[in-house]
A and B are shown apart, each in its own frame.
Chain A
Amino acid sequence: MRTTALSREDRLLLFGLPAVVLVVLAGWCLWRASADLGDIEARALAWDAVGQLALEHVLIVLVCAVLVVGCAVPLGILLTRARAGFLAPAVTAAANAGQAAPVIGVIVLLALAVGFGFWTAVLALTVYAFLPVLANTVAGLRGVDPAVIEAARGMGMSPFQVLRRVELPMALPVIMTGVRTALVLLVGAGAFATFIDAGGLGTLIQTGIIMFRHSILVSGALLVALLALLVEWTGRVMELFATPKGLA
């Protein structure tokens, strides 16, 4: 990994993000350990309660991320094959209309249709985070120089070998950017899981608003934001490693 090849913006984010997250998290932990909290706050912000909510949040994000990548990348590959090309305009149109749908509406509608709970939240968030991965998979694969593919075919590679050893590695950085965007969206939308009884750190925000306890509200908001920043940073690091050595 050669950090010298990175732009100043990338370096700022790569080193600045974890520093900010660590400092703010340490500050919150210090406050939590030393603050003189009332009964309600102390119960809502008990260490193991917060840990449990954070775990639920991360679990929702991870399950959705696996589902999104598992569905969107194969669909993107399919759409870029010559024989399935006729499908592409319809999928693009549907995806663009879907982009205008507010995430909170998608979650509430699905919950009303199929009931509350963890898997409803997973379904709604998967639908929501699908588009960036699909769009970037298609864009990444389309961006591979046709001459390179032709050269690979000329060397005697089968279409599947071309896909696996040429197209996918070259498209990987673009796909990873889509995955990072999706992960960050998932962390943010995961805060709404609490509305449909699926837990997560959003519970603290909701409790804080309902009980009118600013300390709970701000703790929840802060922790969700920190998780999002941490995920963004992880995504950026993964992107660096995903770039094939020959392209860096």
Chain B
Amino acid sequence: MSQPNPAHNRVGPGSTSGRDVIRPEKVLILGSGALKIGEAGEFDYSGSQAIKALREEGIRTILVNPNIATIQTSADLADEVYFLPVNSHFVERVIEREKPDGILLSFGGQTALNCGLELDRQGILEKHGIQVLGTPLETIRTTEDRHLFAEVLRSIKLDTPRSRACEDLVTSLAAAEEISYPVMVRAAFSLGGKGSGIARNAEELTEMANNAFANAPQILVEEYLEGWKEIEYEVVRDAQDNCITVCNMENIDALGIHTGESIVVAPSQTLSDHDYHRLRSISIELIRHLGVVGECNVQFALHPQSDEYRIIEVNARLSRSSALASKATGYPLAFVAAKLALGYCLIDVPNSITKVTSSCFEPALDYCVIKMPRWDLKKFRRVSTSLGSEMKSVGEVMSIGRKFEEALQKACRMLGVGAHGLVSARNHFKEDDLHQLLEVPTEERIFAIGEAFKRGWSVDKVHALTKITPWFLQRVREVAKCQKQIENYSFEELPPSLLRCAKELGFSDNQVARSLDRAEPIPSGYQAALDVRDRREELGIRPVVKQIDTLAAEYPAQTNFLYMTYNGSTHDVVPRDPAPFVVLGGGAYRIGSSVEFDWCAVNAVDALARAGHRTVMINYNPETVSTDYDSCDRLYFEELSLERVLDIVELERSQGVVISVGGQIPNQLAVPLGSRGVKILGTDVDSIDRAENRERFSSLLDDLGIDQPEWRELTSIEDACSFSERCGYPVLIRPSYVLSGAAMSVAHSDEEMEIYLKAAADVSREHPVVVSKFIAGAKEIELDGVAQDGNVVCYAISEHVENAGVHSGDATMVFPSQRLYLETTRRIKRIARGIAEALSITGPFNIQFIARDNHIKVIECNLRASRSFPFVSKILKENFIDYAVRAMLGQKVESPSKSAFEFDFVGVKAPQFSFSRLKGADPLLGVEMSSTGEVACLGDTVEEAYLKALISVGFNLPKKGVLLSTGTIESKAAFLDSARKIEELGLPIYATPNTHLFLEQNGIDSTMLHQPLDSQSPNVIEALEDGRIDLVINVPRSLERKDLTSGYLIRRKVVDYGISMLTNIQAANLLVEALWEIRDPQQMLVKPWSEYS
């Protein structure tokens, strides 16, 4: 034996410390741009962590991200921020300016990854000598190209679904024949499974393939693994080849539903040690083979009745799942991945959560975590509501419990869709519909399963329909059983043991109150729930606080990551002095409430900390920075409900709660918390109610002599119709507590009124419906401000490009306002001062106005931070939240010295739509918000900023041809100058018959195309399909729905083919103006944020 000692067999790279570490001086980080379906807030979390990890090393960081509402684009994080599109053109300009020597591609989702691949393909990275840090591009290419990936798997004898990569329809059809239907169709290089689905026959495959090829060069036709379990592993590997799996996750929904659309539990619940560790070993083997450096995600299908498995895919970058895994385990994945990208060895990266253990370990959980997607499909017209292999959800919630049932019920409530838990006393579903609801997955399925068990359906029957692993169904059945039992008792008779059992299974006080047998109907409001609470506290049934410490209490760890449970008897932490302030976060991202409120919440915590206070954050959204371990003194990953906030405020002995920085969810808690004696920071609770309650707010405006659109609060349809006829249609209908325009609508006739009123009443019975005169053709203006004791400290006035009628969240916003009369501005300021004084506002507020010919009306006022706070704060470089917090703390706050009039640049905020994800949805804008995110860009002119913003949200500037269909005669006329400019720019114009005629009469050449419904050639649809058109201006004749069919067909085709489109005449005019002014958009200025001042 020449080499007797096995320990000598391996020569390691030496003590890693320092030796192999790469030290770039300046690193470029690509963000993910606007939030969209499939790419949301998780990349703000990962990018922010990456910047912090690099900064700690003394490396300069340059960030390109047009998403102005993110934390990562804050002034104190990256050294330079570029609010520019994440595409190869703009990024190359940034590279030329900044000359970075390293680039991080895996922290900005698919957008950053795709941009990185393109930069490499064009040789830009090589030309400028930029090193890609972390996972090599070669690995990324392998994982992104499904064919290459499948080959690699076969070469190392790992199982993968039988599949064929196809680049055209003919080969796709042949592949499907060979594999046999049904087949799974996936598009390569896509985010969130866009262009994917299940095809059961050639016809379905043809349609899907055509759509997919419009967006991707290649699709994969593969074996469809119906009913298999879907399991994911989050894997970390360092350059020294150490490999760990931070977490595994089990999808509750069987394979076939995109993991972003599935309810997911961590850790896996129905895997044995053999299953768990076999898949873990396979993950590690694969990742080592691929050579990932940093973090990645491996998805498996596992046969429910055998050992068979298939590897579905690898995401060689931080992903939605890795954000979830990080929050679920307490392991700082993104931070560690950034360190590993610099060549660090896992054992040399300290664990910043526990402070006592290494980063080279795998968290042990002593709780279970559930992620539930948040959909917002009701916001869209004509959208298909069934779930499948494409993502439709706009956000997610994460709940923690020590029983699966507890976590599941918490998650149901966190969605904020009105559910009191998994099951409720009310029967939402008809027995006849249940079968269908279980078989065809929709966002309601989990509730339908609860209902099925309440009706006594068997686990076998539900399993046969849903394919969900029985263990999960059994848990749902437990909840249903418990709820049925509670129904047998009155409040007085409810046995304490049953109450405790219900709490352990995750029932809320409100849910218990509503399940109890009552002689009288349950009173509205919070009292019934508070009665249960009081009773419960008398009985000593209280939740306990537990820590997420990554090692299940094996060592003492210093962690501030907390949750509450009824499955425990001892608190892990005690209140500390000094008493903290509690900040309520924004909850799940959904349409109308998104990353901008996370920015507000994080900045509020920072401001409180700067003032020397201890801070507690409550939030449950795993895609946020506010739920990062380093964002506050204590983080409660908990419900934003009256019950839970009271629990935490009492436990922490908090000295005050900030409800005004997290959007509408915390704002709605102001009144009930206040009436329970909780100190609310800032504006008095009664003033908040005066602003929220339409009746009270309206009389306040009347008292102040401020104009408002005519309105009535009404309770019957007849009254609503007679009022509307009197003041004249169209009218706007909305409930008094508005959540992102939910159930808000414009009615043009009595008939429409009737349809809408039913929908609105469904949203909130407690609050009557408000009908107001809808004013057309008016400009919409917003004022964001901060006041102290009724004096306005700072404010920002922005104008909308689109006229009133487009939801403010979907509108293009310009700040500083460019086209307002001085007098209008003056009046707006005067009104704002009056309202601030009358409500004695202390803290953030936002007022929305409409103006026509200098007549100004107030349409809305919120005594909280608005969606545009980060936008105006970053342009003014004055942090409005900081002002607001200092004002609320009672510090003397001086107004900023700068005025918006001194700016010689302008910011434009543009909406990001995700219509391409939402099969069938009509991409038309209205009073219901439908954008999923936003960007903002800066420019010397409004045109420049607008073009950059449009490109940032994926708009392609026209080169081939423009299709015009410009609606009413008024809007046709309004677009006439623009049409001339398009002609002069040399772009061929295509037009629908009426628009063509109008253009002809005005001497503008265009090619006439028939409407889709006319089925005549040349037809709009043909032109769209053969690629002659790359810009569509489609303005509807009116918002009335019956007219929409031809327009709808055009718009939908445009979306499905990924063609750029505007549907608003003011926005279209601004675009043409911009194209006219900026003849060569390639030459637009590339300047960092710091140089705009």
Same complex for A and B? Answer: no
**A interface residue numbers (CB < 8 A to B):** none
**B interface residue numbers (CB < 8 A to A):** none
